[in-house]
Each structure stands twice: as C-alpha cells, then as structure tokens.
Chain A
Amino acid sequence: MGYSGLRVIKEALTGHRGWGPAWRDAAPKAQYDYVIIGGGGHGLATAYYLAKEFRQARIAVLEKGWIGGGNVGRNTTIIRSNYLLDGNEPFYEFSLKLWEGLEQELNYNAMVSQRGILNLIHSDAQRDAFIRRGNAMMLNGADADLLSTEQIKARYPFLNVDNARFPIKGGLAQHRGGTVRHDAVAWGYARAADRHGVDIIQNCEVTGFRIENGTCTGVETSRGVIGAGKVAACVAGSSSRLMEKAGMRLPIESHVLQAFVSEGLKPLLPGVITFGAGHFYCSQSDKGGLVFGGDIDGYNSYAQRGNLPVIEDVCEGGMAIFPMLGRARLLRSWGGIMDMSMDGSPIIDRTHIGGLYFNGGWCYGGFKATPASGFAYAHLLATDSPHKTAAAYRFDRFARGRMIDEKGMGNQPNLH
C-alpha cells in the first residue's frame, strides 16, 4: 500500500494497525537472472532501476549483514554536483536531478533537503580555481553561484571571515546541493525494489564465485550456492576483499573515514559549509546536531574506526572558520571504510570474467552518487553498454592514461 498524508491520518484514527513491513524478508532461490552483491545504497538502487526501467527479471540483492548497515548508513548525507572534470560532472548532475524527483518516484520520504552547499574561498588563487569549476558546472547544466564575503556574512554571520591565516574571501555556492536522510535512501529503494519483485536477502554473505570457462555462473554464499545469469558486485569498502575471490586485484585501497555529531542545538546552520584551507565540512541535522567531518585517516584500514589525530585535525579546521563550535559538545564519532581508487573517481564496468560486473571506488563521495550509480549500473547490466554519463568509469582508464583525477594528486589513494 502507498504512503500518503491521507494514509497517515487514516492510520492515526485506526490505531496504526494497518502498517506492514516495508519489504519482504526473502529467502534465497536457486537461480536468478541478476544477483547484486551488497545491500547498500548503490546495490538497492541498482536493483530498483533494473527492475523498473530496464526489464522484468528475477533479481536478488545479497547483503551480508542488514541493508543500510554499511556506508549508506554512516555517511554525512551531503549531495552536490560541483565537480570539474568532464568524466564526472555530467554523472553527478544526473544524480542530483534524480535526487530532485526521488521521493515522488519511490513514494518514500527521504528528506531530500536542497539547503545549498557553500565551498569557502581563502585566497585569490582559490577564487580563480573555483570560478573555473563554477563555469564547468554551468556548462554541464548544473547551478553555481560565486558569493562575496558580504553575502556570506549575511547568511552565516558567525563565520570567522577575518581569520589571520585563512580569511574568508568568498565562496562558491551550489544552491541545489544539500542533504538527504541516508537511512531513508536505503529503505526507500529497498521498499520500491521489493514492490517490483526484487528479493532482498539479508544475512547472506558472498564467500566465492562460481566461474566456469571464464564465465561467472553464480555465487557461493553463507546461505548456499545461488545461480545467476549476471553477477553485479557492489560492496563499496569491501570491494578488494570480494573481488579477490574472483582472482582480481583492483586499483583500490580501503581507508577509514570518520564523522562526528555534536549535541542537538537550535537551528543555526542553514546549509552545508566546507572549509577551503583544510579538511572540515559541516551541516546541521534536522534533529539539531552539527554533523561534520574531514579527511580520511590515511592508512589502509578495514577497522571501521579511526584514530585521534584526525579528530583533532577536523576540530581544528572547524574552529578556524567556526569558533563557536568550541562551545558545543561532541556526542559521537564513528568510521566507515572507503573504497579509495587510484584517481579518486569510481568504476562502473564489466570485468574480464563474463557475466561478472563491478561497481566501486566511490571514495568518500558515493552517497550523492547513489541514484545515478544505480541507474548507470542497471543500464550496464541490462544492455551491456555503459550509460552515457558513466562511460568514463572504466577499469582500463589507468592503463590507458585516462585518469579522472579531480584533485590532480596522481595514483596515491590517500591524497584524493
């Protein structure tokens, strides 16, 4: 049954007895047309678009824990399309457009909030770089707005614009950027996929691949062997661990990224702000907590927790632009495992093994990509050709020297 305001009123008057589970707890069948490994945002979105846009087929999502327990439930929920390079910007703008219609599409309140994102500028050189980025965004149909220090002061009067070392000289705003309730994205896609007949199978870890004569015919799991026409890996931070079972080495290192939330405060931060001279970004959740983060810890990790030096660094960055942050108490910090690629950009591609596909390398920015990643991956799975916005996300770009390196850092994953 659909969700609506009328339904809420009706349920309220009848003791809320009509609500059922949002998706079935499916048991694995012996054979599917498509098996998607990983019940994060990307895996669930892929299943949804595959079932809806491309064809009616037997589709399963296999998740080793519970859906939404990975990075989709750990991120800082920022969406934006403020990229510079041709390989990236059309993809992220496509994603932002999908976010704009997502709640109607899924009939699910994902709290998509286009409160705007503001990247602060601290030097003349940085202003030049941001103007260039803004122009690239507009050429790709995105919105970008260069703000003066005065305009920023009017919206964010508490920012320390006169910091002696990193004065705020302006900012690049994307007003259509913002935040989305991350858990609701997993749940919304899960419910919508389930309604299109997708089996969402939890507590089902993929432990190996069935590969015969160079073709993948299924997966071994903690709940038995499952046959598949096509197998689609989509496990973010666990990418190398999973693909190793198919004998593949990836252009990926796994790193831990931490995030933080303060005690609940009255509304004070209307949009998302990012510090341009260090690593700090912040938004305020609807519950009032300041949600913020910064750099990855910088060493290979699967531990889902980080260390103190980064906490100190993030808080110092925050204090530099936002001194009143020092009066708020830190409530919680946590970590998630990032699939950091060699050029900082993702991969959505076939592998050299027939019937086996790969989606990963999202680094610390894959939440905003969720709708487009699912759409493009579904397109690839259904048609065996890349979606036009994701055509650059190939495995062979490293060998061919066609890196998509937004930051110009080279093949050093911890610098992206």
Chain B
Amino acid sequence: MLIDHPILGPRDSSEFVYKGDAALIRRPDWQAPDALEQFIDYGYLRDNPAGLHRELWFHEQGDRSWLVVTRDTTTHEITSVELARDVARKEGRSR
C-alpha cells in the first residue's frame, strides 16, 4: 500500500506504524461524571467496520507525523490522507 503523505508525497505503508481507529483522537474528558464508562469504551471497544475506515498511521520511519488515512477495509484502497494535527485542530482538540 502507498500512503500519499500530505507533506512528503507517496510513501510505502511499511514506513508507518498502524495505530488503529482515528476516533482515538477524541480522548474522553477525565473529569466527566461518566469518565470511567467513557474510558472503557475508548480503550477497548471499536466500530471495526467493513468498508470505509478512518485510521491513524504514525510515520515512524519518516517525518514522525501522525496521519489520518481513510481506507476501505474490504479493498485496501486509500481515498484520503490528512495530517492528524489538522483533523484534531478542526475538532478543536489540539492547540
């Protein structure tokens, strides 16, 4: 698989480490009244869809950026690649 890195261009997926569902960007608020339930969900439960999946790839053997890759899990086709930083900022998470 080739991942079209927004800064570096197409890179082989084996340069990356796969870190799972991009929903992990939304870490729960530890002070929420139901923080325990939310963290159990966050830590252990996954949608695991067959079809489009937004997922985190860490460019460990490259520029060490984190990417959000949208990929079809039934064909491995990649349709979009964003910097995880941009995605997190858009959601108001990262400063």
Contact = CB atoms under 8 A, between A and B. Distances in A.
Interface in A375-392: none
A164 interface: no
Contact of B48 (A250, A399, A411, A414): A250
Contact of A411 (B18, B43, B71, B73): B43
A414 B18 contact: yes
Given A254-B73, A309-B13, A399-B40, A299 B18 contact: yes
Given A249-B46, A254-B73, A299 B55 contact: yes
Contacts of A253: 20-21, 46, 48
Contacts of B43: 342, 398, 411
Interface string B16-50: 00101100000000000000000011011111111
Given A254-B73, A302-B74, A309-B14, A411 B55 contact: no
Contact of B45 (A241, A251, A309): A251
A349 to B, nearest CB: 14
Contacts of B49: 240-241
Contacts of A342: 43-44
Contacts of B44: 251, 342, 398-399, 411
Interface residues of A, number: 24
Interface in B52-95: 53, 55, 71, 73-76
A251 B46 contact: yes
Contacts of A298: 18
Nearest to A401: B40
A240 B73 CA distance: 13
Nearest to B19: A412
Contacts of B18: 298-299, 414
A207 interface: no
Nearest to B69: A299
A241 B50 contact: yes
B1 interface: yes
Interface centre among A241, A251, A253, A412 (most CB of B within 10 A): A253
A369 interface: no
A252 interface: yes
Given A302-B74, A303-B75, A309-B13, A250 B46 contact: yes
A203 interface: no
B46 A301 contact: no
A160 interface: no
A148 interface: no
Contacts of A412: 20
Interface string A149-170: 0000000000000000000000
Interface of B: 1, 12-14, 18, 20-21, 40-41, 43-50, 53, 55, 71, 73-76
27 contacts: A240-B46, A240-B48, A249-B46, A250-B46, A250-B48, A251-B44, A251-B45, A252-B46, A252-B48, A253-B20, A253-B46, A254-B48, A254-B73, A298-B18, A300-B20, A300-B55, A301-B76, A302-B50, A302-B73, A303-B73, A303-B74, A303-B75, A303-B76, A342-B44, A398-B43, A412-B20, A414-B20
